[in-house]
Structure 1
Amino acid sequence: MQLKSEFTIVMVTHNMEQATRCSDRTAFYHLGKLIEYAPTLQLFQNPGQKQTEEDITGRFS
């Protein structure tokens, strides 16, 4: 957490809890295509794309 005040850090994870806990912004990709990019809390609490919502709630499209 201290490093992110000085550096840009890119983290790839399938762990939604880790992404929520560690990131300021989150990108959701599916099969190499960017589906959504938003502030982390916004993406997880109110996703703008149906495919993002289905993935983070476990209902895969």
Structure 2
Amino acid sequence: MKNRVRDLRVEKGLTQEQLAEFIGVSRQTVNAIEKQKFDPSLPTAFKMSQLFERTIEEIFIYE
């Protein structure tokens, strides 16, 4: 699944470590999500949605 996580994280001025802390995962997990090697769980996607103030559909693009 494609996503805009990296762009939105940079836009907010966050490091991968800061994003990971907020959503309760490791920095390596954030890195894997950004590189589209891993799809987050629904609770993690909701936390990202809240932080980025975007809908899940605006962050994650299902193809």
For the criterion TM > 0.5, the same-fold answer is: no
Which structure: greater helix fraction? 2
Q: Decide which structure has the larger Cα Rg and report it.
A: 1
Say which structure, 1 or 2, has more relative contact order (CA 8 Å, 6+ apart): 2
Which structure: greater strand fraction? 1
